[in-house]
Structure 1
Amino acid sequence: MLQDKEVITLAVVDDHPMILEGVQRVFQPEQGVTVAGTFTNGNDFLGFLQQQQVQVALLDITLPDMSGVELCRKVKQLCPDTCVLAFTNHQERAVVMQMLQNGAGGYLLKNMGPEEFLQCVREAIQGQITFSAEVKQIMARPTPQDLKSIPPLTRREKQVLQLVAEGKTNPQMAEELSVSILTVETHRKNLMQKLEVKNAAALVKAALECRLL
């Protein structure tokens, strides 16, 4: 448990400079928190963690090189003791669950006030699962997607879905899976039919909501 005079070390990963600046303004050493580093992409942060550890990592969900969900998993593999908190505008209940399943210690929305922000970080460092107030409301009510049955996917469809989420093109997927481009296109078509979507972005969003990614 955090001692009264111990300063929490924190890092922020977000590709919006104003967010990075704002977090640094909120957290000051005299409040018991110091910002040890700010990063605009996941790979830079992972490189930093190989040299220096932090107690708390704030991750946005949408990053230039990988999703915050994927980054959370990698951070916990590299530094299991680092408490990862989502810090984002994404309000999908399924994304909250994905972060928790990947080891996050909480989920915070960017519209929260400074006092609540600081309180959530303190709760997290004490080992509690922490949510901002609006996230608590989201978690308390099921969405239509939560009540919808999840369509069964074949092993190959799951592989294609993961590659779509990684931004791979059809030729890249065909090469990686050692199948024809036509086969990849067929799997993508089947995935979009099963998840009732019309493009790749909607496919990834629906897959996250169904907890298929």
Structure 2
Amino acid sequence: MINIAIVDDHEMFREGLVLVLSQVDEINVVGNFNSGDSFLKALEELDIDIVLMDIKMEGLNGIETTQRAKSVKPDLKVIAVTMFVEDSYYMQMINAGAHGFVLKKAGKYELVQAIHEVNNGGNYFSQEILQKMAFKAISGKDEKENQLSTREVEVLQLICKGLSTKEISEALFISQKTVEVHRSNILRKSDQKNIAQLVIWAIKNNYTTI
């Protein structure tokens, strides 16, 4: 069972999410909150795996809420559920620790897919959001100063597809520990802090396409 919390200041949208997710057997909504403050006050008592977080909220926004939540529970996974906003918000949300982005207009299937992929240790980006971020990033394309090895490129491409460490291990017939070593080397060479940033970097540098 995947325990979910919802944080959004639009009541009708929250209620809609609760209704949609209540129809999915393996998902359990354990709480929904109308503000970042109310969520943070209840966080320590909540048994949750993933929080669906709006970015633009009255009071404490989703970026600040995510930062504070991750400081309390570092393993908490965050999926931003949002409309299109300024590009800077996306990168700030990634830097705060978000594992994925889903547009509010997305259907039930995409939302459930995002929850499963993030819960399994991957990342999920709505294609429209990924294209928007990648298009903006291309103009500031980075030089590949630290060239990746052939194996690192293979691992990177599978990371960009949202595969977990276990799935990459099985696909490439290497141990999970070896996958983690490659992942660490790729992050070091690319000078990225997390996997979400790495996906954008890989697109900018033509290691993968969207």
Give the TM-score range, shorter chain: 0.5 to 0.7
Residue 127 (str. 1) matches residue 121 (str. 2) = yes
CA displacement, residues 117-170 of structure 1 (integer Å, 9 cap, x when unaligned): 1101111111112111211221221179979xxxxxxxxxxxxxxxxxxxxxxx
SS of equivalent to 1:141: helix
Q: CA deviation at 1:39?
A: 0.4
Q: State the match for 1:33 in structure 2.
A: 27
Which stretch of the first structure deviates more once superposed, 128-137 or 9-18? Answer: 128-137
Counterparts of 1:1-213 in structure 2, within 5 Å, are 7-28=1-22, 30-142=24-136
SS at match of 2:136: coil
Post-superposition Cα deviations, 1:164-206, rounded to whole Å, max 9, x if no partner, equal xxxxxxxxxxxxxxxxxxxxxxxxxxxxxxxxxxxxxxxxxxx
Stretches (4+) displaced over 6 A:
143-147
Show the counterpart of 1:178: none
The CA RMSD measured in Å over matched residues stands at: 2.0
| Structure-2 separation of matches of 1:41 and 1:145 | 36
In the aligned structure 2, how far is the partner of 1:36 from the partner of 1:63?
21
Q: 2 CA distance for matches of 1:14 and 1:145?
A: 33
2: distance between equivalents of 1:144 and 1:30?
A: 38
Cα gap change, 1:43/1:146 in structure 2, threshold over 3 Å: closer, same or farther?
A: farther
Q: Could you tell which deviates more after superposition, 112-121 or 135-144?
A: 135-144
Count of residue pairs brought into register by the alignment? 141
Distance in 2 of aligned mates of 1:61 and 1:25: 21
- The CA distance in 1 between the partners of 2:108 and 2:100, in whole Å, is 16
Distance in 2 separating the partners of 1:51 and 1:76:
15
The CA distance in 1 between the partners of 2:68 and 2:56, in whole Å, is: 15
Give 1 or 2 for the bigger CA radius of gyration. Answer: 1
Provide, for residues 21-56 of structure 1, a one-character-per-residue CA deviation record: whole Å limited to 9, x for no partner.
110121126431111101001111011112123100
Name structure 1 gaps, 5 residues minimum: 1-6, 148-213
Distance in 2 (alpha carbons) for counterparts of 1:144 and 1:63: 29
- C-alpha distance in structure 2 between counterparts of 1:24 and 1:49, whole Å: 18
Q: Which residue is equivalent to 2:163?
A: none
For 1:9, the aligned partner's letter is N
Determine the C-alpha separation between the residues in 1 that align with 2:24 and 2:14.
Answer: 19
Match of 2:75, SS state, is coil
Distance 1:65 1:127 in 2: 30
- After TM superposition, the structure 1 stretch with the greater mean CA deviation from structure 2, 37-46 or 132-141, is 132-141
Amino acid at match of 1:44: S
Letter in 1 for 2:4: L
What's the % identity of the aligned pairs? 34
Q: How far has the Cα of 1:85 moved from its partner?
A: 1.1
